[in-house]
Amino acid sequence: MKHDFLHLDLSLYTYKIDNGMMVYVIPDSKVNNIYATFSTKYGSKQNTFIPNGKKKMVSVPDGIAHFLEHKLFEQPDGKDPFSIFSEHGADANANTSQFKTTYLFSGVDYFKENLNFLLDYVQTPYFTDANVEKEKGIIEQEIKMYHDEPSWRLLEQVIFNMFHTDPIRIPIAGTVDSIKSITKEDLYLCYNTFYHPANMFVVVTGNVNPDEVYQIVKENQAKKEYDSKFSLKVKNYDEEKTVAKEKETIKMNVNIPKVGIGFKLDIKKLQKYNRRDIINYLNLFFDIKSSQTSSLVQSLKEDDIITDSIDTYLVDADDYIVFYFEASTKKPTEFIERLKQEIWNGNVSEEDFNRKKKVYLSNYVTATDNIFMMNSLVMNNIISYGNVDTKIYDCIKSYSYEELKEVITNITFENTSEVIIMPKNSNN
């Protein structure tokens, strides 16, 4: 099916394969490159579930989705997927988030071979005791690398402290201890449950013919057999509105303290609006409040509280949205207080709102020049909303100042969690 991205000179083609796999293609003949991603709707969050064909819930070690991502590069014939892509001059990689695991390649030539190979290696699990053991040293180094990054630690700790039970709180890669207990049986269990084609999707952006992409995937999948029935039961957590821990201080190898603060927002009350619009309005609100154009940043600089900008990040956790702020500051307590006061006074001006709308529209146009951004946009839409909105341009254009005020008025911004990283040698 073809859908045009209105005003953006691009179209999205969607196809469904017999085994349930979805294929999304955005062709762009102006570029040379092609970017293909193959994802499963399975990330670090889904750690308690009923395995395919079983009846009882099981829990698996933390970090297993990410471990599985590493191990799918192991093939029974000993061939290294990276070598194959390298022979074709293509870049290949994979990544895991709380919500999905994605395998990808980009390259100008050998598209058919590359796409077939991407599907084949991901759909050929090969785990042995030895190759699982070997991976533990590598992942231990990966965990330690991120552990040394203050910004990464800060975000991870704030998310952990915001949630009581939702496994979104668990670090994506797990911990050095949790990965030690992972076995090949655990990996097969997760693979057989979450890597069913009906739980997976392909997104291709760039210089391709959409029907050809569909044919390649269709023919490839026709050669493989999967259980025609697919049902997935993942444990639901009745997450509380409050945060699990409001304040924490950790010490790290920094000279200037860093602050991370998250606002846990309950959006269930706003049934009049769809999730996408709520999230867009929230983004606009927080952007107006904390970007370089805000009076907050200007005054924090004048008062020597920050010298640079405030970084922001949004986490979409089903019933809750977490809006996260981060800054380096020598006055952490004052920063937190001023930021909270600014958010709690929900005032925004119509002038700011209209200007930010213009910015959002412009960003959509610029994104369409970039096949990597468009691919991510499709993937994130599928994971967050289950579909891709091709009318996004008109949709944002229709947003009104009154609606923004209504959304903001109906959300409570009281539930916050803050983490401060202090230098190791400080007395605080």
Partner 1 sequence: MQYKKINVGPYNLHVINTDKFKTVSIKINFKRLLTKQDITYRHFLANILLESALEYQTKRDIAIACEELYDLHLSSNTILSGNYDIMSFSARYLNSKYAGEDMDEKVISFISNLIFKPNVLDKSFNETAFNIVRKQMMEDFDSYKENPKKYSLERMYEELDKKSPLSYRSLGYEQDLAIITTQNLYEYYNSVITSDLIDIFIIGEVDYNKIKRILLKYLDVKTIKKAGSSHFIEHTKYRKRSKTIKETSDFTQSQLVIGVKAINLTPFERKYVAAIYSYILGGSPDSKLFKNVREKHSLCYFVSSQFQIINNLLVIRSGINKENFKEAVKLIKKEFKNMEKGLFDEEDIKAAQTTYLNSCKQILDSPSDIVKTYVASEYLGSDTIEDKMTNIVKVDKNDIINLARKFHFDTIFLLEGDGIYEA
Where do contacts with partner 1 occur on this chain (CB under 8 A)?
Answer: 30-33, 80, 82-83, 85-92, 106-109, 134-139, 141-145, 147-148, 150, 171, 175-178, 252-256, 291-295, 297-298, 301-302, 304, 307-308, 328, 355-356, 358-359, 361-363, 365-366, 368-371, 424
* Shortest CB 255 distance to partner 1, Å: 4
Give the other-Cβ count within 10 Å of 202's Cβ. 25
Terminal CA-CA length for the chain = 60
**Residue found by looking up tokens 């609100």 in the block:** 285
Q: Which of 69, 74, 239, 326 is catalytic?
A: 69
Q: In the structure encoding, which two tokens stand for residue 369, read together?
A: 């020049």
Angle 153-161-240 from CA coordinates, rounded to 5°: 150
* Shortest CB 115 distance to partner 1, Å: 15
Separation between Cα atoms, residue 208 and residue 203, nearest integer Å? 12
Separation between Cα atoms, residue 314 and residue 89, nearest integer Å? 35
Where are the strands (E) in 304-396, listed by range? Answer: 311-317, 320-328
Q: Does the annotation count 69 as an active-site position?
A: yes
DSSP state of 233: E
Nearer to partner 1, 84 or 198 (CB): 84
Helix (H/G/I), strand (E/B), else coil: 345 = coil
Give the other-Cβ count within 10 Å of 60's Cβ. 23
Nearer to partner 1, 246 or 308 (CB): 308
DSSP state of 51: P
Nearer to partner 1, 137 or 386 (CB): 137
* Shortest CB 292 distance to partner 1, Å: 4
DSSP state of 290: H
**Residue found by looking up tokens 């819930």 in the block:** 57
Longest dimension (CA), the chain: 66
* Shortest CB 427 distance to partner 1, Å: 17
CB-count burial class (<10 Å; 0-12, 13-18, 19+) for 76: exposed
- Contact, 120 vs 202, CB < 8 A? no
* Shortest CB 103 distance to partner 1, Å: 13
* Shortest CB 387 distance to partner 1, Å: 25
Nearer to partner 1, 90 or 189 (CB): 90
Give 271's contacts (C-beta < 8 A, 6+ positions apart): none
Nearer to partner 1, 236 or 293 (CB): 293
Nearer to partner 1, 54 or 251 (CB): 251
- Contact, 9 vs 368, CB < 8 A? yes
Q: What residues are labeled active site?
A: 69
